[in-house]
Amino acid sequence: MKKTVAIIGSSGAIGNAVSDNLINDESIGIIYKFSRSMSVKENERVKNIFLDIEDEESIKSSLDHVPSDTKFDLVFVATGILHNDKEIFPEKSIKDIDIDKLKKVILVNTIGPTLIGKYFIPYLRKDEKSVFAFLSARVGSISENKLGGWYSYRASKTALNQIIKNFSIEIKRTNKNAIFVGLQPGTVKSFLSKPFERNVKEDNLFTPEYSAEKLLQVINDLSPDDSGKFFAWNGEEIQP
């Protein structure tokens, strides 16, 4: 049977590259691309569905556009915010902390993906391996935090990692084949990383296509024992 995939945040650099990679995979039947921007052309294998991750009703109603008997083999959550080219930028110090910016970053990076879990988990395949993968970030690891700063982004990803662990514990009771993981994509050329790319050595700045290929390899190699964990693009496990 061909596989069914949902990509949330398919307009982003990594989400789009994951989708492009999977389109060339003959084991994949349909790819549902959930996004605020609907510019991508549809065909019988690719469907675009509007979803605003900041709006619970939008997340819930997006699934009205998917057949009710759909079973996802893979749900890949690729949404996220670090800056918005305007007022939101990672905090360098305590004095940069601002309630509205904190709320926005946590809404997009933690609350939105949590609600994606709430509505999409019932659509996960149960009879075979299924994977629910969330793009997280290494800076969300508390044990690896040596530099400080980036209060809202770090905290939003740390909290996301906790939510992923919680999903894994609860769903293990009803779906032993489901695997929930956080993924660190590497430093990838995108709108999100643009202001910071000059701090990264050229060899360490990945194309979205390379990152997508590596992340899909990690997903392929996962087993149910990996559920609740956090992995880098090269398969290395990152400690919380």
Ligand X SMILES: NC(=O)c1ccc[n+]([C@@H]2O[C@H](COP(=O)([O-])OP(=O)(O)OC[C@H]3O[C@@H](n4cnc5c(N)ncnc54)[C@H](OP(=O)(O)O)[C@@H]3O)[C@@H](O)[C@H]2O)c1
Contact residues toward ligand X (CB under 6 A) are: 9, 11-15, 35-37, 51-54, 78-81, 108, 135, 137, 184-185, 187-188, 190-193
Q: In whole angstroms, how close is the CB of 156 to ligand X at the nearest point? A: 9
CB 174 → ligand X: shortest distance, Å?
27
* Min CB(1)–ligand X separation in Å: 29
- How far is the first Cα of the chain from the last one, in angstroms, to the nearest whole number? 36
Rounded least distance, CB 84 to ligand X, Å: 9
CA distances from 52 to 3, 10, 35, 108, 235 (A): 25, 12, 7, 9, 30
Closest to ligand X by CB, 55 vs 96, is 55
Residue in the shown chain whose Cβ atom is closest to ligand X: 80
Q: Is 30 or 40 the residue whose CB approaches ligand X more closely?
A: 40
Nearer residue to ligand X within complex by CB, 17 or 125: 17
Instruction: Return d(Cα 158, Cα 152) in angstroms, integer.
Output: 10
Q: Looking at 128-238, which runs of residues are DSSP E strands?
A: 130-135, 178-184, 187-188, 205-206, 230-232
